[in-house]
Structure 1
Amino acid sequence: MGKEELELGSKFTPKFDENGLIPVIAQHFETREVLMLAYMNEEALKKTIETKQAHYYSRSRKSLWLKGETSGQIQSVKAIKTDCDQDVVLLLVEVGGDGGCCHVGFANCFYRELDDNAALVINGKKPQEK
């Protein structure tokens, strides 16, 4: 596939890395808040497309997982996008359950921020603290 066809064509051809993975950003469908970064292998991407629920590949467990399967925070996929060279996937999702996303209880995984002294400060809220 040529560069122009890849960048401007209508064929979805995700580029998985040497480990068979592609980074995926999950973004809230309505607020556009970035919720998390995860990875998918080909199977996870196929299941996500088929079921309209976000499936990811756990690099630590080396297995497929349905986001929210145990927490209830299922990510219902409203749109799937890819970047110009198709090596990143963006999911626009609605989150079930309490609306949280992070496994430690925050609304998103980016709940910490560096302060002026390069120290991490928690700046997010857990869903029950809304």
Structure 2
Amino acid sequence: MAIKIWRMKYKSVAATACEDENRQEARFIVMLAMVFLSFFICYFPAIVVKSYDKCYHQTELHVFSYMLNWTLVIINPIVYFYMNERYRVALTNLLERVFKISPNPTEQENNIGLQFIPSVRIKADHSSEGNL
């Protein structure tokens, strides 16, 4: 009897783990599809414009295609942020390190909620200036 209960419990845990893994895999595939689709949408017009207008007679089309190319720089982090939990946690931790986010904005007087904390300090070495 105890073995049957253990097997049932093990099967339910294994099934839950398998369902969770399938859900994560499906989410990853959707994220890859979104990245691929955004890449195609942003770069395909530039390929078409460059292949048909090699002498840059229609500069407006070239400017528009370059603007689309650069929008991919904005779209990719947004896709990763919304589709990947690990990326979201890492970005949140990074922003918390760069900006000190106070939980209670009324803690300090004139506090707007964000305070910049410089993370890198460079010490100048002036000892080699006189050796020229």
TM-score normalised by the shorter chain: which range applies? under 0.3
Larger relative strand fraction: 1
TM-score (ref. length: structure 1): 0.24
Length-normalised TM-score, structure 2: 0.24
Q: Comparing both chains, which one has the higher relative contact order based on Cα–Cα distances under 8 Å and sequence gaps of 6 or more? A: 1
Which structure's residues are more often helix, by fraction? Answer: 2
